[in-house]
Chain A
Amino acid sequence: MRALLAYVATAVAAAVSFGVSAQDKVLRVVPHSNLNILDPIWTTQYMARNHGYMVYDTLFGTDEKSRVQPQMVDKWSVSPDQRLWSFTLRPGLQFHDGAPVTGEDVIASLARWGKRDAMGQKLMTFVERMDAPAQNQFRIFLREACGFVLEALGKPSSNVPFIMPKRVAETPADKQIEDYVGSGPYIFKRDEFKPGDKAVYLKNAKYQPRKEAPSGTAGGKHVYVERVEWNLALRDAQSQVNALAKGEVDALERPAFESYEQLKAAPGVVLINKDPLGFQYMCRFNHLHPPFNNPKVRQAALAAMPQEPFLRAQVGVKELYRPCASMFTCNTPYGSAKGSEIQSKSSMKKAQELLKASGYDGTPVLIMKPTDLAAIQKLPDVAAQLLRQAGFKVDLQAMDWNSVVSRRAKKEPPSQGGWNIFCTAWVAPDIWNPLSNAAIGGAGEKSWFGWPTDAELEKLRDDFARATEEPKKKALAEAIQARAFEIGTHAPLGEYVNPLATRKGVTGWVIGPGDIYWNVKKNGD
């Protein structure tokens, strides 16, 4: 009898410990949105980018100090005239199907990325040709030297130049891929993917991480869990908090600001500011139509829009936001206050004077307000109130986010379905240099929505692209920003961070830009 009891006790203990250890091998995450497009080159959606980081690897990464570091690349060299870049891949790189990663795969991947991504397109204007002199090598031949080859290849946000097998990368750039084989730290479980329900990634046991410590999207991508599950169904903010508090999920990628105090007080939960550079808000002016086709009116609007009221209304938690005078991300190499005085050192009185002097004729300003996107939905309200105080006539129109993104592509006047202002948020790497920052462009109808036209701004951006010395690049970035403030491309509205909320027993979160899931350990809690 005693032996039987001992046997039963052992069996129960084994079953329990198996259950616990099996749980410890599954990381259950609630991402910030739904995953529906699986091609991170075809779309700029951040969820597709995050999916890309799970499945694919990159030639270079960007560390938490915004420095580009090699990732798949082992070593590289550049010719004295800076027109020939030669790269050698790390040994042992292979795709999930066992095929080795070759220079041909890299070239095909870069070619496809170069057709979709803004920075990639810019790089391709310099590229004469690319080749693969050996299986583990590739070269980029430039027509003329340019100063952003590594920044482009190590670009941490959409579109990231992920490396795919040649057969996949040869998919036309305007068509989505259908084969999800990568060489990244996780393998996508296509058969378990249910859009709106869950996405599953398995540890890629063959992945060989770099030896360096993980930092941002650079360094060793060590995987300590067997499986990562993205819970795509759990999107109600309060239910997310409840599920984390009860331990049904391990982490919330971007909990709502309204939940911050509740999460801080929840036992077993910690908040980790794993992306200290965070995000930047902005309101964009439409330069095509009155009143914002008049630079003086844009100056008046900039003067009327100090950042603090926007941050207070939208974020609300003092420790999570900071005003930032730069159009590039603050605390990054090109972050600077140059030229920002029109906004950062202004007042409502000055805004009213500027508006009066601008010849503004009372044309209503149509502001689009997305009602279903909590992350930015209060910005238009604040903008409307401040602009009214400055003397603008404002037409605040509520709509869903889809209507905003559809309508902002319309170049017609506001009375015919167009618009004057919309607001949005960017992750730091999207805007931290003059080439990746879509809002700073002066190429007219080829520019990002709002379509500013300014030859001087475009020339400065071209000079920046050609500059190879860092001091010169910094000086040009300052000049670009000063010019952007002068013509009023848009109004930067300050920065914020959105800490990740996780169970106490889940550790190893990598600090740096991006939502990435390597190096994370579940120790039980």
Chain B
Amino acid sequence: MYSFVLKRLLATIPVLLVVAVLVFSLLRLTPGDPAAIMAGDAANAEQIERIRAGLGLDKPIVVQFSLWLARVARGDLGESFYFRIKVADLIGQRLEPTLALATLTILLAVLVSIPLGVAAAWRFGGWFDRALMGFSVMGFSVPVFVLAYLLIWLVSLKLGWLPVQGYRRLSEGLLPFLQHLILPAITLSVIYIALIARVTRASVLEALGEDYIRTARAKGLPEFHVLVRHALANAAVPIATVIGIGIAILIGGVVVTESVYAIPGLGRLTVDAVLARDFPTIQGVILFFSVVYVLVNLLIDISYVFLDPRIRY
């Protein structure tokens, strides 16, 4: 197990290197010049050229890459062209909102979707099952921003229960923190509720057809016990996999939600950095996301051992 974890962690190094090369190359191939944006609309070509030189963008790409990679190897993601602060600090500033939103979203999604999926499998073909499948299709189909505007209109503007936008740090109090986060989390969780509920339903349905379920029922175990301790426990591996994938996709999915709800998180930072061609920030954020993806996948793989004792590494 430990050697598996170590091997997986070591395997992240070439992955990150490939990501670094790809991101660096793609950014340099993309049209656009950070200096031109920084200079402003009335600046002339000469002023822009001076800014480019100041940012080190006049150096050959290979030299730029070597310098950047050497810094990254020392644990330094560089300084944002735009914000003129360390990229690591910038990520640190924006991490809390995104982390809070992602955590609450996944928590909501898991708490709601797994019972729904189990219940749908239990009442397979009934009205509840059909309703859940209908909801799933809707959850997949309705774009996040449409749902966000509808929820804002209803919950914030008509009912006046929650704020329209903004983010309050946890250090400002739990209540304002939750007040500002609950609506974005609900918005974002709908698609994951749909996804996880469908997978849970399918997995539990498959488990319910197994002999050990029939045996458990024959032994006279309560139905709840059969569903949770036997069916759900045996269906847990695919559910954990889809939750893991969900977490990975979620990091990308927060962009729209953060924009609509004005949450200053990593998603919004990524969009701003891309539009401004803030190369160090884009590179830093993508490397950070890559590490998160790798770690989430690793955690999911490790969780299999606990969910299914037959799995050994």
Contact = CB atoms under 8 A, between A and B. Distances in A.
Interface of A: 34, 36-37, 43-46, 48, 116, 118, 158-159, 174-176, 194-198, 231-236, 238-239, 242-243, 245-246, 248, 372, 399-403, 405-409, 411, 424, 426, 430, 438, 445-449
A239 B261 contact: yes
Given A44-B43, A239-B164, A196 B264 contact: yes
Given A235-B262, A242-B156, 17 more contacts: A48-B40, A118-B42, A174-B54, A175-B54, A195-B85, A196-B83, A196-B94, A232-B264, A234-B262, A242-B153, A242-B157, A242-B164, A243-B164, A243-B166, A402-B276, A406-B33, A447-B44
B276 A233 contact: no
Interface in B36-86: 36-48, 50-51, 54, 82-85
Contacts of B83: 36, 195-196
A118 B43 CA distance: 9
A236 B42 contact: no
A242 B152 contact: yes
A37 B165 contact: no
Contacts of A158: 40, 42
Contacts, number: 139
Interface stretch (B3-11, B185-193, B219-227, B267-275): B267-275
Contact of B31 (A37, A196, A243, A399): A399
Interface string B135-178: 00000000000000100110011001001111100000000000
Given A197-B264, A239-B261, A400-B32, A246 B164 contact: yes
Interface string B81-93: 0111100001001
Contacts of A234: 165-166, 262
B263 interface: yes
Nearest to A157: B42
A111 B35 CA distance: 23
B5 to A, nearest CB: 36
A407 B51 CA distance: 16
B234 interface: no
Nearest to A36: B82
A149 B40 CA distance: 24
A159 B82 CA distance: 19
A176 B84 contact: yes
A405 B37 CA distance: 7
B277 interface: yes
Contacts of B36: 402, 405-406, 408-409
B55 to A, nearest CB: 11
Nearest to B81: A36
Contact of B264 (A175, A233, A245, A430): A233
Nearest to A417: B31
Contacts of A198: 264
Contact of A403 (B32, B44, B160, B261): B32
A233 B167 contact: yes
B262 A409 contact: no
A45 B51 CA distance: 14
B264 A401 contact: no
A82 to B, nearest CB: 28
